[in-house]
């Protein structure tokens, strides 16, 4: 293979990666627009009196403006610096220090080194990459998975918690006491976050600021909307029960939409899994049936180039299929 062919392959690879990144960024922008439209009440029908509807629209506009400002501030801070290890540990719900995390990361690096050198007997470059993955990649991946699992569990109970707060507020209980009651009645991430918010409020931190700090440990749009509702209620004295009731309705509507999308895209997901697994299954079957035929890909220099190209294109295809069937709500 000539140098020109290698350069052309590299250019095509870079262009495809750029197209994938642009596609994912466009999806994120569209998701933000849908969220803002939902908050402003554009998709909700109403049969109330015009005066009451105007008041609701005004409150929704205030919440939308506040949430948009908070989101822009959060985006700016994220661009300036990435999340620290302490923040990631808080999002994952792990009660360990940063020092302990790095100790566990070193242990993970040693395990990856032993597997690479003693078990698989790979070269020095692969051993070095395994050490880097074990120290910096695998522990952070575990943190992200734990954080995603915790956020999913939080969303599953957050709507019920908000409706419980609404009932307590309508019964005449103060906001802080309602939050304390929720922290005792609910277990898991919801109870933990509400307990932290209430403890901070007891030592003098305003309730809306404590909720805003909770968005760092639970970076979800719903949690940001909750903090924004508390902030607007403290500044304007608006009806918090109505804001929280609307928020609970939005969360339940998002859940219904997610389940509907999952059902409609199940066939596409199954097709993508079959298409992604088929080359590996065929190659494995060929390895056992006629090993000399396929062994050229691993021994001949041009065969290695073809194998690398096939792996790259297959990974790109899987990435594009994932973008096509992964809908963010």
Instruction: In whole angstroms, give the CA distance from residue 53 to residue 56.
Output: 5
Q: So where are the chain's domains?
A: 3-82+264-325, 85-251
pLDDT at 208: 85
pLDDT tens for 201-231 read 888 888 888 988 999 889 888 888 888 888 8
Compute the mean pLDDT over every residue in the chain, rounded to the nearest whole number: 80
Q: In this structure, what token pair is assigned to residue 118?
A: 């003693």
pLDDT digit string, tens, across residues 277-287: 888 899 888 88
In angstroms, the first-to-last Cα distance of the chain is 46
* 122-154 residue pLDDT tens: 778 888 888 999 999 999 999 999 999 999 899
For 57-91, what is each residue's pLDDT tens digit?
Answer: 666 666 666 656 655 665 555 444 456 888 899 89
Task: List, in sequence order, every beta strand (DSSP E) within 110-258.
Answer: none
| Alpha carbon distance 166, 175 (integer Å) | 9
When pLDDT is averaged across residues 94-122 and rounded to a whole number, the result is 89
> Of 32-36, 40-44, 157-161, where does the model show the most confidence?
157-161
pLDDT grade, residue 320 (50/70/90)? confident
Question: What digits encode the pLDDT tens for the residues 237-290?
Answer: 667 888 888 888 888 888 888 888 888 888 888 888 888 888 889 988 888 888
């Amino acid at each position: 293979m000539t140098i020109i062919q290698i350069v052309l392959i590299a250019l095509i690879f870079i262009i495809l990666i750029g197209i994938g990144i642009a596609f994912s960024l466009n999806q994120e922008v569209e998701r933000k627009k849908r969220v803002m439209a939902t908050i402003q009440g554009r998709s909700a029908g109403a049969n109330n009196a015009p005066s009451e509807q105007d008041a609701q629209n005004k409150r929704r506009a205030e919440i939308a403006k506040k949430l948009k400002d908070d989101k822009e501030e959060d985006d700016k801070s994220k661009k300036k610096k990435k999340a620290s290890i302490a923040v990631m540990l808080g999002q994952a719900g792990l009660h360990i220090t940063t020092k302990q995390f790095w100790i566990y990361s070193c242990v993970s690096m040693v395990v990856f080194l032993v597997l690479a050198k003693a078990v698989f007997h790979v070269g020095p470059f692969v051993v070095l990459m395994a050490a880097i993955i074990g120290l910096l990649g695998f522990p952070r991946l575990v943190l992200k998975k734990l954080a995603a699992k915790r956020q999913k569990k939080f969303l599953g109970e957050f709507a019920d918690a908000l409706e419980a707060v609404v009932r307590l507020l309508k019964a005449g209980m103060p906001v802080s006491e309602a939050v304390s009651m929720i922290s005792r009645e609910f277990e898991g991430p919801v109870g933990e976050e509400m307990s932290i918010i209430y403890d901070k409020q007891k030592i003098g931190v305003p309730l809306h600021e404590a909720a805003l700090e909770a968005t760092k440990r639970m970076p979800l749009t719903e949690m940001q909307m909750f903090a924004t509702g508390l902030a607007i209620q403290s500044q304007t004295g608006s009806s918090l029960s109505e804001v929280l009731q609307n928020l609970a309705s939005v969360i339940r509507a998002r859940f219904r939409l997610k389940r509907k999308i999952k059902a409609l895209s199940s066939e596409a997901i199954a097709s993508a899994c079959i298409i992604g697994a088929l080359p590996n299954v065929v190659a494995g079957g060929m390895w056992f049936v006629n090993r000399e035929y396929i062994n050229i890909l691993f021994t001949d220099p041009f065969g290695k180039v073809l194998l690398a190209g096939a792996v790259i294109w297959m990974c790109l295809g899987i990435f594009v299929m994932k973008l096509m069937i992964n809908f963010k709500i």
